[in-house]
Amino acid sequence: MTTIGLYSTMVQFLYSSLTILAALLLATSASGQKVCVAQNSKTDDTITIIQAFNDCKAGGTVSLPKEKTYNIKSLIKVTSLKNVKIDFAGKIILPLYDPKFKGGSAYLEISGDNVHLSGGGTIVGNGQSCNFKILNAHRGHIAITGAENVIFENVYLNTRSTGKNFARNTDASGVTSSKNIIFRNSQLTVGDDCTAINAAVTNVTVTGIKCYEGHGFNIGSLGHGQRFDFVSNIYFTNNECHSCQNGVRIKTVSGEKGAVSDVRFQNVQLYDTVNPVAITTHYFCEQNKNCNNDQSLTISNVVIDRITG
């Protein structure tokens, strides 16, 4: 089952077996395959987008063409898709913040089996005003939860504050309870983590990423909520960080149990970066008032190789 969502986190992938190629247009549909094009509405493009999904719910291609711009004014939720391709080449403009959205899980939530998303489309989050190509997200960009065998490639993110306040909590990607994930060949401008590898994650590769103005390539923070957090087999290679707060970092909280193992940071080029390497076992301990607690997660078999700049 695949679920895709956009809201408090811009894009959310749950229970996925999915390939994301965000800068490549979907190939022409196979001969005879049903194609459902989302049209523009006079009132709210949410209506016509949902209609296109309903028309191709049992199989076919849902198309958001390159020449179209969609202004959505309400939350989109589409369920029970089966064997559906999504050709997202157009532009979706999310609404300005409105209290009516409070408590909603996503602007756009899609669930089903064998759902394939591809395209060179743009999501404009209007983030500056309310605090795949994603511009001005108001919180994290991509969240992956309960996912398996997912590739993110040629993703472009650009969230930069135009005011006096920094863009906060705008992680490029956060991974939780997932395995066999690949991030590659992408450009990220964010105000927080370039990656955040969180609890219950194994077998992740991050390669060919250029990150600007972020907090670096991170594992964690781990150890929240009195649970046993674990992360293993994480590989960062051939990445760049420009004007970042950190280069590579592992962060765990004190007083908790868990394990971080088999991590390799290799060939990461840093430019104007404050902390090239940081391993923190008492992350936010001042706030949690437990800096004197010697217990934290175990960290083992970590290789740091050719972190330069």
1-29, pLDDT tens digit by residue? Answer: 444 444 334 444 444 444 444 333 333 34
pLDDT of residue 28: 38
pLDDT of residue 138: 54
- Who's near 280: CB < 8 A, 6+ residues apart? 249, 250, 251, 252
Residue 53 host element (H or E): helix 45-55
Radius of gyration of the chain (CA): 20
Instruction: Dig out the tokens for 58 from the structure.
Output: 């049992």
Q: Structurally, how many domains does the chain consist of?
A: 1
What is the distance between the alpha carbons of residues 287 and 220, in angstroms, rounded to a whole number?
A: 17
pLDDT of residue 8: 39
Instruction: Dig out the tokens for 225 from the structure.
Output: 């909520």
Give the mean pLDDT of 70-93: 91
Q: What is the pLDDT of residues 227-253, one digit of tens each?
A: 899 999 999 999 999 999 999 999 998
Checking if the pLDDT of 274 tops 50, the result is yes
Q: Tell me which range, 119-123, 198-202, 255-259, 285-289, is most confidently predicted by mean pLDDT.
A: 198-202
Residue with tokens 């957090």: 229
Is-contact 142 173, C-beta < 8 A? yes
Judge whether 289 lies within some domain.
yes
Quick one: CA dihedral 13, 198, 277, 286, positive or negative?
Answer: positive
pLDDT of residue 107: 77
Provide the percentage of residues in the chain whose pLDDT is more than 70.
79
Phi and psi at 41, nearest 5°, equal -105, 155
What is the distance between the alpha carbons of residues 249 and 216, in angstroms, rounded to a whole number?
A: 7
Checking if the pLDDT of 71 tops 60, the result is yes
Q: What is the set of active-site residues?
A: 192, 215
Checking if the pLDDT of 62 tops 90, the result is yes
Single-letter residue type at 99: P
What is the distance between the alpha carbons of residues 11 and 190, in angstroms, rounded to a whole number?
A: 15
Judge whether 1 lies within some domain.
no
Judge whether 249 lies within some domain.
yes
pLDDT of residue 108: 79
Judge whether 216 lies within some domain.
yes
Judge whether 156 lies within some domain.
yes
pLDDT of residue 118: 83
DSSP string, 167-209: --S--SEEEESEEEEEEEEEEEE-SS-SEEE-SSEEEEEEEEE
Single-letter residue type at 172: A
Q: What is the pLDDT of residues 193-225, one digit of tens each?
A: 999 999 999 999 999 999 999 999 999 999 887
Judge whether 10 lies within some domain.
no
Domain that holds residue 103: 35-307
- 110, burial (CB in 10 Å: exposed 0-12, middle 13-18, buried 19+): buried
Judge whether 239 lies within some domain.
yes
Judge whether 30 lies within some domain.
no
Banded model confidence at residue 260, pLDDT cuts 50, 70, 90: very high
Q: What is the pLDDT of residues 147-182, one digit of tens each?
A: 888 888 888 888 876 655 555 566 778 899 999 999
CATH number for the domain that contains residue 290: 2.160.20.10
Structure-model confidence comparison of residues 119 and 183, the more confident one: 183
Banded model confidence at residue 105, pLDDT cuts 50, 70, 90: low
Phi and psi at 250, nearest 5°, equal -120, 130
Per-residue DSSP letter, 269: E
Is-contact 176 207, C-beta < 8 A? no
